[in-house]
Amino acid sequence: MRLITETDGDGVISARFCYSGSDEINGFKICFSLLSKCSAVSGCKLMHQFGGYAELAPDYSRSLMNGDEWNFSFKYVFERHAPVNVSWGPMGTFLKLKDGQTVEVFNEPLKFLNGTTKNRKKLSAEEPALRLIPHPLSWEQEAETCDLSEGFKISGFSSETQNKVVSSFKSLIERCDLKGILSNHGVEVCFEKDKQNFGEEGYELLIKPDKVKIRASQYTGYFYGLISLLQLLKTYNALIPCGKIKDLPQFSWRGQHLDCARHFYKVDSVLRLLDLMAFLKLNRFHWHMIDDESFRLELTSFPELADKTGMRGNGCVIPAVFGGGMGPTGGTYSADDVRRIIDHAASLGISVMPEVEIPAHAKALLKVIPELRDQQDKSYEESVQGYVENTINPAMPATWEFLNKVIPEIISMFPFGVIHLGCDELPQKMWQKSPAINKLKEQEGLESTEDVQEWTMRRAAGIVIEAGGRPAAWEQAGLGKNGGIGQGTLIFSWSGKEPGLKAARAGYDVVMCPAQHIYFDMAHTSETHEVGVMWAAFVSMADALEWDPVPVNEPELEQKIIGIQGELWSETIIRDRDMESMLAPRILALSEGAWSTPRRKRKLNEFLGAVGHFQSIFDQLDWQSHKPV
């Protein structure tokens, strides 16, 4: 059985279901997921919907026998979600029979009848002055070369810190199957404790024909020195130029986010991403495990959350959203999984920040604990993804009983201590017809929904602080007549640069992650064969590279803008490895922008030259990289 779909650019998706089976069927429904809500156009009627998951039946009574076809059409409800590429077609299709049995259906990629391949200007790549990503603070090249064809041997490590660095580096190259890098027959690489203070992550790399010195002050500096040497060995095919690298990062927060709520990634896949981040000197992993579609973190305080929402599919609490299919598919992360990821990250100089989504993006949570809503609330708020009533209610005592247990438990699991509280994409109608909220407003002197949001986030941030952590949140948390969430909260600016600049001017520490530049769930180009969304933009390598977090005319904001972070939301991810070509090669531009100062960040053509040489590392890691067709 197969489902064939096509669109001619008017937003309507025409579908043809081809039935192949020995039995005649009737009373059936075809089930699949889209990126958001749909509505019937012809030949079908909508029987059930949950976000982008839909069940459609023929709009008249009919039976199908082997070889019969059923033609119908549908479209996205929101005009902004008109199909632009193959990601917008049905995913995880199956047939639900009258007796409840399910049968898998193969769905062909969405075909665009008017799709044309655009003649894109091919950018020329220039040979870079140094084949290293990110570009270092300074590079003084000498005439000679150092031959590392027989690898290198590390000496001069006597302290406990230096021994840990060598152990972590050995583990990394073994995982990456980099044979022959460490060898007793190779060039000597000597560690030296720097008499100056290079800080936590700075290092100096002195390359001579017969010897290499790495000077640093702390663990991560030594580790990054080895990473730079390893990268040069691969990009120069072992014959590396001699000279002196002096290196410090521009930003202290150089992050990459992964959405493990919309798609469950196996622990080993997360570890692979952390290894790639280490090659690029990225040092913060934003782990998003909780959203409308799942609560994947196993907690002792509320074990039923992961138990009931970790898997999705037919008959599950969460139906087959985002390619879930018949299911059950998905998974959860145990305390042991968390420790394994944190320990792995720490060995690579990476800290891990978890996220708890409040007050919105809480549909999965509310499916299990409905007491977090006011049962008299008639707001019927709907999220931008099409989920109805996905917002917890801060006027309910159960909400604070829940958060007072969950937040401290999560902080105890993550030693970094920074916990992200969410606060994005709040539905417009939330709390407007809640009697409990109206009573709360009277008690607390609140007037607007924004006032209630501010009050909620400030109280939640207080729980974080009391538990010994630091709160973080999306940009909307900085809004409110009293200055927003406050209390030292770290603000993440996602809808563009301006909200982050506004928050920085107001005194917040800010991480810039504008969707127009470093949201890696955005499609690379506008071609219909691409995967990804485009609500913010199509994000090319140039878009990811050519922007500055700190305005030239406001250099004082450099003290408040502490970094940048790439985001990978997983609505269009079906298999773990699908993340690879969404991230690569654009994650290289993230690395360059996060580490290199504006003066040292390379222009696009030279940077593309460095990207071309880095491909050998992608190949070594067996990491798929996007290539234009």
Please report whether residue 239 resides in a domain: yes
Of 35-39, 122-126, 557-561, which gets the smallest average pLDDT?
122-126
Q: Are 594 and 548 in contact (CB under 8 A)?
A: no
Q: How confident is the model at residue 346 (pLDDT cuts 50, 70, 90)?
A: very high
The full 3-state SS of 116-133, as one line of letters, equals CCCCCCCCCCCCCCCCCC
pLDDT, mean of residues 549-555: 96
46 contact partners, CB below 8 Å, separation of at least 6: 38, 39, 40, 54, 55, 56, 74
Q: What pLDDT, in 10s, does the model give residues 455-493?
A: 999 999 999 999 999 999 999 999 999 999 999 999 999
Give the tens place of pLDDT for each residue, 384-404: 999 999 999 999 999 999 999
Q: 456 and 576 share a domain?
A: yes
328 and 417 share one domain: yes
Query: Is there a single domain that holds both residue 506 and residue 605?
Result: yes
Q: Which of 510, 618, 603 is nearest to 564 (CA)?
A: 510
Last residue of a domain, one of 222, 247, 272: 247
| Rounded alpha-carbon distances, angstroms, from residue 95 to 13, 174, 190, 395 | 18, 45, 64, 42
Residues 306 and 404 in one domain: yes
CATH code for position 536:
3.20.20.80
pLDDT tens digits, 581-619: 999 999 999 999 999 999 999 999 999 999 999 999 999
Confidence category of residue 116, pLDDT binned at 50, 70, 90: low
- The answer on pLDDT for 160 being more than 90 is yes
What pLDDT digit, counting tens, does each position of 58-87 carry? 999 989 999 999 999 999 999 889 999 999
pLDDT tens for 264-319 read: 999 999 999 999 999 999 999 999 999 999 999 999 999 999 999 999 999 999 99
Nearest to 519 by CA among 491, 495, 498, 502: 495
State the CATH number of the domain containing residue 94. Answer: 2.60.40.290
Q: Are residue 77 and residue 197 in the same domain, yes or no? A: no
- pLDDT exceeds cutoff 90 at 427: yes
What is the average per-residue pLDDT within 348-364? Answer: 98
Handedness of CA 222, 224, 226, 232 (dihedral sign): negative
Does residue 557 sit in the same domain as residue 506?
yes
Last residue of a domain, one of 247, 281, 301: 247
Query: Are residues 93 and 223 located together in one domain of the fold?
Result: no
Q: Are residues 382 and 268 in the same domain?
A: yes
Q: Which domain holds residue 489?
A: 253-620
Residue 156, pLDDT above cutoff 90: no
- Examine the domain organization and report whether 104 and 146 are in the same domain: no
As for how many domains the chain has, the answer is 3
Domain end, chosen from 213, 247, 281, is at 247
pLDDT > 90 in the chain, percent: 95
For residue 573, tell me if it sits in a domain.
yes
Check residue 119 and give its pLDDT. 66
At 16, the pLDDT band (50, 70, 90 cuts) reads very high
The pLDDT, as a whole number, for residue 629 is 57
Residue 117 belongs to some domain of the structure: no
**In a domain? residue 128:** no
Q: Per the domain annotation, does 627 fall within a domain?
A: no
pLDDT score of 261 more than 60: yes
pLDDT-based confidence at residue 195 (cuts at 50, 70, 90): confident
Tell me phi and psi for residue 18, to 5 degrees. -105, 115
pLDDT at 79: 85
User: Domain check: are 328 and 412 in the same one?
Assistant: yes
Which two tokens mark 200?
């936590």
CATH classification of the domain holding 193? 3.30.379.10
- 102-104 vs 91-96, strand pairing mode: antiparallel
Answer yes or no: is 121 within a domain.
no
Domain presence at residue 118: no
Q: Are residues 571 and 537 in the same domain?
A: yes
List the end-to-end C-alpha distance of the chain, in Å, as a whole number.
30
Angle at 583 between CA 581 and CA 588, to 5 degrees: 120
Q: Does 376 share its domain with 510? A: yes
